[in-house]
Each structure stands twice: as C-alpha cells, then as structure tokens.
Amino acid sequence: MQIQENISLLPHNTFRMDVRARYWAEYGSTDELRDLLQRFADIPKLFIGQGSNLLFTKDYDGIILHSSMARARAVNETRDEVYIEAQSGLVLDQLIEQLCDMNLYGLENLSHIPGETGAAAVQNVGAYGTEAKDAISEVQALDTTTLQPCTLTHADCHFGYRDSVFKHEAAGRYVITSVTFRLSKQAVCHLDYGNLREALPANPTPTDIRNAVIRIRQSKLPEVSQTGSAGSFFKNPVVAQETADTLLSKHPAMPYYKQTDGIKIPAAWLIEQAGCKRLTAGDAGVYEHQPLVIVNRGNATPDNVMRLAQMIQERVEEQFGISLQREVIYI
Ligand SMILES: Cc1cc2nc3c(=O)[nH]c(=O)nc-3n(C[C@H](O)[C@H](O)[C@H](O)COP(=O)(O)OP(=O)(O)OC[C@H]3O[C@@H](n4cnc5c(N)ncnc54)[C@H](O)[C@@H]3O)c2cc1C
C-alpha cells in the first residue's frame, strides 16, 4: 500500500488540470482497500481510474484511491463462451488487446477508449454500436457500508447510456474490484455503426475490428498522450418524438436516430449548428475534428473549461431549446 500527501493530480487526469489532492493512495488488494477506508473514514473519498472522464474543478480536500490490482483470468468456459474476470485497475485497452489475441469477440469495438476496467462498468462505456454492458456478466465490489465483498449481477447494475447504478442509487457505496465479462468464441460482430464495415475484410477477426476501430478513432479524437481532454464532454440528447418533429420542421437536415426511449440527436451537430466550433475560454477550446470534445490547448484552468462548457450549453439551449447534459463528471 502506498500513501502520498499533498500530491499534484496533473499526471492523474487526462484533462491535465494542475490541481492537488490532500492524499493519494494505491491499494493492491481488497484487504488494503478495507484498511484505507477504515483509516480515512472521516474525510471525503474519490475512487479513480485514469481520470479520463473527470474534470477536477479545484484542489481535492480528501483522499483519492486507486486500484493497482490489474490481472485478468478465465473463470469459466463453455463450448461457445469464455468468462474473464478482470481486476478494476487493469487498463481496459490492454484487456481488449489480450482478448483479441485470444480470438474472443465482445469488447473489440471498445478498443482505444482510455481508462480502466472498473470505470468501464461505472460508465458503461460505449463506441461503434456496442457498450460494456453487452459483455458484462457481473461486477465484484467492496461495499463501503459493510466493508464486505459483494457481487452485483448484470440486472443489479441498472446499466443505461453512459450510466449505471454506481452513478446514482449506489454512488460512492461500492468500490469495484473486478468485472467479469462474457466473451464469444464465435464471430459475433457489430459492424453497422459509422464506416466500420467498409474498413474491414470479409469475416474479420477481433484483431481486424480492433485495428479498424483504432484507425478511425485516431482520425477523429485527440490522443490523450498529446492533447488534454476527457473525450465527449456532453451526452447526445434523447428527446420526445414531438420535440424532434418540431426541430425537424425548422432544421430538415438535422440527423437523428430512433431509440426505444425517444429520438437521439447528435450533440456534435447541435454544437456545430449553434456556432460553437471556434469558441474558446482561455486555453480551453472546442476540438477541431469533433465539436463534442473540449480540449486543453496548454494551460487551461478548470474555470476556463467550465466557462466554455457553459457557453456551449447556453448557445445550444438558445437555438434549439435543448439542455445538453454533461458526460464529464465535475469533482
Ligand atoms: C480521448 C478520449 C476518448 C474517449 N472516448 C470514449 C468513448 O468512445 N466512449 C466512452 O464511453 N467513453 C470515452 N471516453 C471517456 C472515458 O474514457 C471513460 O468514461 C472511461 O471509462 C473512464 O475511465 P477512467 O479509468 O479514466 O475513470 P475515471 O475518469 O477515473 O472515473 C470515472 C468514474 O468512475 C468512478 N470509478 C473509477 N474507478 C472506480 C472503481 N474501481 N470503483 C468505483 N468507482 C470507480 C470514478 O469515481 C468516476 O465517477 C473518452 C475519454 C477520452 C479522454
């Protein structure tokens, strides 16, 4: 176990906000995690992965806890499927690379999404027509109220669009220690999203799909190693059919996608149409290849990012009457 005091969070958030935390701790086992929770019972706590979906709005006056448990193992196998339990601190993309090498289908469309396995379940990460929930079988956690390990079934997790029980009813209650995924030995491919299919050979392997996804993502999204960001800043709004009809009568070119719960409108289109593409606040700006992403062009402060986000929300609301909800979590 490693505990540090008054540390810079610059290396621990992909937005590259230069703020500090009172304490930072790495735990390598559930017992160490339990010890930390008991020892620091009276101060605020944040469980963190790679900090790729967060905006630190100020210094953190509490303890930030990070899992260094990063192994994966097969826990069950049937004729058609393999169940892999991956520990929360394992980088999701490393796990996906290993699964693709094993020729297992299920997570390849989520290649190159930053972050760790624990957070992938919290966020129900999604890309190219699939979401983590499609492959998650169950989640193992430590219940902070009882300090006992527990298992949440897929149904217990209440997965939704970039959403799960871990962000609402049970926010702060469970620390995810591992996630069990159900992977297919047979080719079960999801290639109908965007231009994925045309980038692939017939009968693609998981690695073919992974490589194509990575190439497409690299052409559209900033690389965390080069540019500070937290990916999509806003969620794509889902509106009622009547709202969509009214908007379409005014903006016939508006793209939209029918969902079971309403009509999804790409937030990137709304942001671009509202004239936000060139908006800046200090060193915070809108990414030129994808207006849904706010980037740190050097020394952006939390205030710069929050101000820019607010300007975008106000302009979209004014022009379309739609209130954009943040995907990025403010801490
Ligand atoms: C360039 C870029 C591209 C991106 N593209 C996508 C994309 O295509 N699709 C997508 O869905 N997301 C995308 N994201 C967002 C981000 O990668 C995901 O949300 C990812 O799951 C965050 O992982 P993390 O480990 O960095 O989590 P963090 O940002 O550290 O944490 C996210 C949340 O999970 C909680 N948490 C973390 N670990 C645990 C744990 N062990 N137990 C309990 N709670 C925990 C945190 O408290 C926080 O609430 C992108 C981000 C960037 C920077």
Return the HEC string of the chain.
Answer: CEEEEEEECHHHCCCCCCCEEEEEEEECCHHHHHHHHHHCCCCCEEEECCCCCEECCCCEEEEEEEECCCCEEEEEECCCEEEEEEECCCEHHHHHHHHHHCCCECCHHHCCCCCEHHHHHHHCCEECCEEHHHCEEEEEEEECCCCEEEEEECHHHCCECCECHHHCCCCCCEEEEEEEEEEECCCCCCCCCCCCHHHCCCCCCHHHHHHHHHHHHHHHCCCCCCCEEEEECECCCEECHHHHHHHHHHCCCCCCEEECCEEECCHHHHHHHCCCCCCEECCEEECCCCCCEEEECCCCCHHHHHHHHHHHHHHHHHHHCCCCCECCEEC
Please tell me the distance between residue 51's alpha carbon and the centre of ligand 1 in angstroms. 7
CA atoms within 13 A on the CB side of 119: 23
Output the pTM of the full model: 0.94
CA of 117 to the centre of ligand 1 (A): 9
Catalytic pick among 32, 67, 232, 315: 232
Active site residue 232: yes
Q: Do the Cβ atoms of 65 and 175 come closer than 8 Å?
A: yes
Catalytic residue among 162, 182, 210, 315: 162
Predicted pLDDT at 192:
87
CB 326 within 8 A of CB 234: yes
Nearest CA to ligand 1 atom 23: 115
Amino acid identity, residue 218? Q
From ligand 1's centre to the CA of 319, what distance in Å?
Answer: 30
pLDDT-flagged residues of the chain (< 50): none
User: CB within 6 Å of ligand 1 — which residues?
Assistant: 14, 46-54, 67, 88, 113-116, 118-120, 122-123, 125-127, 162, 166, 175-176, 221-222, 224, 229-231, 329
Per-residue model confidence (pLDDT) at position 316: 97
Domains of the chain: 2-67 (3.30.43.10), 72-220 (3.30.465.10), 228-330 (3.90.78.10)
Ligand 1, residue 224: give the atom nearest the CA.
1
**What is residue 259's predicted lDDT score, i.e. its pLDDT?**
87
Residue 90, number of CB atoms within 10 A of its CB? 22
**Ligand 1 centroid vs 53 CA: distance in angstroms?**
4
